[in-house]
Structure 1
Amino acid sequence: MKIYAETDRLILREIISTDIDGLFALDSDPAVHKYLGNEPVIYKEKLVEVIDFIRKQYEENGIGRWAIVDKKTNAFMGWAGLKFVTEETNNHINYYDLGYRIIQKYWNQGFATEAALASLKYAFTKLDAKEVYAITDSKNRASNHILYKIGFSCTEKFMYDGAKHHWYKIKKSDFEKR
């Protein structure tokens, strides 16, 4: 399996079929889905499709979400990373989207921030992206805080899946100034 990035505490690697139990722990939790506009996963079999979809993104776009793994325990903690979005969202198409989702027991420990920063570094150094975008529900204080903290600017608000969302952007030049 390919490792894309490492931090002091984390390994960011490709998502593989054996991550299904970790993904189920993540995506079956209603608290994790509170601001996502969808329902928690009930059956593990649904996650086989998710893994296949992500792996297809690796092949087609050279990038996709990555598993977050604890360096000390090798535990699956969630996912983070970039997705190349090819469908129109908020009048944008063909852009890199930063995302992250963490199993609840790992919340409030800086893991999402750490993984997001490593993902941005990868975007700007390995992919030579000029800018990266992110979207979050306007009520999701934790996610909005993370995005501001790592240098994103909220450039507008828009409706997405029936809820007000913030549209964030960070330019490579702004990331390099951090």
Structure 2
Amino acid sequence: MPTHCNMNATIETDRLTLRKIIPSDAEGMFLLDSNPNVHEFLGNHPVISIEESRKYIANIRNQYLENGIGRYAVILKETNTFIGWCGIKFITEPENGHVNFYEIGYRFIENYWGQGFGYESAKAWLDYGFTTMDIKTMYASANIENVGSRRILEKLGMQQKNEFDWKGIACLWYELNANNQG
């Protein structure tokens, strides 16, 4: 059974506001997910219509209701701009021999890559998950070729456990126990 967070929670970092994804984020989500470079390590299936982005947002908002948690919009404080998403998802489908687990994940608009936003937002979510939600172990996966994403996970202190196949994509599996976070 998932540990629910305060779904009205907003998390702030020095540069970012992390808040629930809302329907008006559709244009930003489309900009994010229509870029083939963003989907290079996700199976190469970028969206082709804003309607797909609206459905994705509806799915995320449904996860808030069903699981008490889900991905959040990442807003750049300086400009109040949607730059991507980050957050904890409760995974109910089997993945790498696990089911019913918490996963940290993130995805950013390409113009915002390489500026530390992935680490900053994921670190804030890890802290929230371990302290506020009392999650014992956080998991993550990354395409084995996605050096940028792997670097973020390793900087967060996540330990690589094994390699696995996710829908034909070679991925690395990471774990971090609440007792081992730095």
What TM-score do you get using the length of structure 2 for normalisation? 0.94
Q: Distance in 1 between matches of 2:103 and 2:9?
A: 19
- Higher mean Cα deviation, 96-105 or 157-166? 157-166
Determine whether 1:144 maps to 2:150: yes
Superposed CA RMSD in Å reads 1.0
Runs (4+) of structure 1 exceeding 3 A deviation are none
Determine whether 1:95 maps to 2:101: yes
Deviation at 1:159, TM superposition (A): 1.1
Query: Partner residue of 1:8?
Result: 14
CA offset digits 1:76-127 (Å, max 9, x no partner): 0000001000111111001001100000000000000000001101110111
1:161 paired residue among 163, 167, 174: 167
| Matched residue SS, 1:50 | helix
1:47 paired residue among 30, 45, 53: 53
User: How many equivalent residue pairs?
Assistant: 176
Residue ranges of structure 1 left out of the alignment (5+ in a row):
none
Query: Partner residue of 2:178?
Result: 172
1:17-166 correspondence to structure 2 within 5 Å: 17-166=23-172
Residue ranges of structure 2 left out of the alignment (5+ in a row):
1-6
Q: Distance in 1 between matches of 2:53 and 2:130?
A: 30
Q: Distance in 2 between matches of 1:135 and 1:70?
A: 25
| Matched residue SS, 1:134 | strand
| Matched residue SS, 2:10 | strand
| Matched residue SS, 1:23 | helix
Q: Distance in 1 between matches of 2:31 and 2:69?
A: 24
Matched to 1:174, the amino acid is: N
